[in-house]
Amino acid sequence: MTALEGRIAVVTGASSGIGAACARALADAGATIVAVARRKDRLAALTAELGRGSLPFVIDMTQPDAAQALHDFVMERFERADILVNNAGILHAAPLDAFDLDQLRPMIALNYETVVRTSTLFGRTMKAAGRGQIINISSIGANILAPGVGVYGGLKRALEAFTDCLRIELAGTGVKVGIVAPGTTSTEIFEDMKSRGQPSWDSFIPPMQPDDVAQAVSFMAQQSQRTNMARIQIYAAADSH
């Protein structure tokens, strides 16, 4: 019997990159996955591959009612959620004179507000059940001070503050809360940079791959109920931060 056999795991941003890798890693450990993203065809292919009764849920998580719709879907189908992985996110990084302010609201919505909404809704349900785990994907960017990354890094820092407070609030309830903060990982998140002819961060050093991050998420999810692994920070081997 695998460690997460029978668990229901919800993974946002699951159509590619770290999210898809997390879905695979958790399914390999025995979980049934609810894979969440906008791209229907990718989610359908992923959940068919995963098996174990895994289901796609197609939605734009930047919408204010998306978290409630996701929560209601999971409760209707499974009556519980054992693991929530908040992975969905976008990156727009540019110097002050070039930063597109139209990107600000979508970044706030997906990188912070969505995490708060889903964590709150699922956290309430998990608390009532006396068991569950919330894993929020942050970034080492939360602690990097550099030109052009203030919005992205600031939102990740806010995410981490919220996550740490939630962990403390839920201590003793049976609900565990943790952060996985990866360094440079080769995913589609850098497409915005590349589309503007800006060197993407994964072009400077040999980056990690999504599977590397997913293994950390799976490891955190498989810890004893007696423990709460609050944070895993992973750097690419060549990263000098």
Give me the active site residues, please. 152
DSSP string over 110-155: IIIIHHHHHHHHHHHHHHHHT-EEEEEE--GGGG---TT-HHHHHH
For residue 133, the Cα-to-chain-centroid distance in whole angstroms is: 13
CB atoms within 10 A of CB 49: 12
Beta-strand relationship, 83-86 and 175-182: unpaired
CB contact at 8 A, 182 and 220: no
DSSP 3-state assignment of 36?
Answer: strand
